[in-house]
Amino acid sequence: MKFGVNAWVWVSPLTTDGVAELAPKVKALGFDWFEVPLELTDSLDYARAGAILRDNGLGVSVCAAMGPDRDLIHPDKAIRDNGIAYLKHCVDAVRALGGTNVVGPLYSAVGRVWQMTADERARDTDLLVTQLRELAEYAGDKGAVLGVEPLNRFETSFINLAAQAIEVVDRVDHPACRIMLDTFHMNIEEKSLGAAIRATGKRLVHLHACENDRGAPGTGNVTWGEVAAALREIGYDGPVVIESFTSKVQSIARAAAIWRPLAASQDALAGDGVKFLKTLLA
């Protein structure tokens, strides 16, 4: 496995200078993977950032930031088209950085929730399958992979469970469309984290290993023993990434509801978390 951390632990939005500052810190803390969140499409020099990460011995993935104008199942076609264009940019970005995985809630804007009838859900699922198939073909041709992430009910009303992601990904039926799970969201929505991981099986391409309060993994009530056993059972050997946020960046703090410090420092959150995960999954 590769153990990583998302730049959102420290900064938002990430710039090329931010990569240069964070990469050696991340390596020194014990990580071998760095996750790049792409809130903006013009804040990074991908070639330079990729070289910095390689020089520090860090693998890389891209985390999509799905906002109000990036939504694959929105009623407004212009917003849907913009979502497609944005995710194609993410694919191009991850390849320029030297990675393969583009992960996140690759279906709707984070925070958009709406009541659906069964027929409306079926219609939107059909639309999403069509959209993701186009994106998977694009990603596959570029040598990239999509990881569709279920979110908790307060951040989306569309895909909350591993079972819902499995339905969509199996219908897309393309090797470049797989699943990312996040233990923070799973801890809210799943009856059993282990059962959800086992059901996902070989579809799992990426894991966000996050505590129930977004603090350092191992300091809360996520059932980590169950997670570890299930990952071993399915033979998972992909990235394991800590995703958290800082209350010092007001825009991301509001979006992620981070109202207080979650550790003595952001470095401590990351460093303590990766030590725990390496011991857990060794």
User: 177 forms bridges with which residues in the sheet?
Assistant: 146
- Residue 255 banded pLDDT, cuts 50, 70, 90: confident
Specify the DSSP class assigned to residue 220: S
Q: Does the structure show a pLDDT above 80 at 248?
A: no
Mean pLDDT, residues 41-59 taken together: 97
Q: Does the structure show a pLDDT above 80 at 249?
A: no
**Residue 207, both tokens:** 């894991």
- Residue 96 banded pLDDT, cuts 50, 70, 90: very high
pLDDT tens-digit map of 183-213:
999 999 999 999 999 999 999 999 999 999 9
CB-based contacts of 191, cutoff 8 Å, min separation 6 = none
Q: Does the structure show a pLDDT above 90 at 220?
A: yes
Q: What is the pTM of this model?
A: 0.96
Q: pLDDT over 90 for what percent of the chain?
A: 94
Return the number of other C-beta atoms located less than 10 Å from residue 86's C-beta: 19
CB-based contacts of 171, cutoff 8 Å, min separation 6 = 125, 129
pLDDT tens-digit map of 144-170:
999 999 999 999 999 999 999 999 999
Active site residue 243: yes
- Amino acid 282: pLDDT: 85
**Residue 270, both tokens:** 């990351």
- Amino acid 259: pLDDT: 86
Question: Alpha-carbon distance 194 to 226, whole Å?
Answer: 5
Determine which one of 35, 149, 190, 211 is catalytic: 149
Q: Does the structure show a pLDDT above 90 at 64?
A: yes
- Residue 256 banded pLDDT, cuts 50, 70, 90: confident
Active site residue 134: no
pLDDT tens-digit map of 99-150:
999 999 999 999 999 999 999 999 999 999 999 999 999 999 999 999 999 9
- Amino acid 135: pLDDT: 98
Q: Which CATH number fits domain 2-281: 3.20.20.150, 1.10.3210.10, 3.40.50.2300, 3.50.50.60?
A: 3.20.20.150
- Amino acid 257: pLDDT: 87
Mean pLDDT in the chain?
96
Question: Alpha-carbon distance 165 to 177, whole Å?
Answer: 10
Determine which one of 35, 155, 190, 243 is catalytic: 243
Question: Alpha-carbon distance 215 to 213, whole Å?
Answer: 5
- Residue 253 banded pLDDT, cuts 50, 70, 90: confident
236: three-class secondary structure by DSSP: coil
Helix, strand, coil % over all residues of the chain, rounded to 5? 50, 15, 40
Domain ranges of the chain: 2-281
Question: Alpha-carbon distance 245 to 41, whole Å?
Answer: 20
Q: Nearest-CA neighbor of 57 among 26, 87, 84?
A: 26
- Amino acid 101: pLDDT: 99
**Residue 107, both tokens:** 């279906």
> If you count them, how many residues does the chain have?
282
- Residue 254 banded pLDDT, cuts 50, 70, 90: confident
Q: Does the structure show a pLDDT above 80 at 279?
A: yes
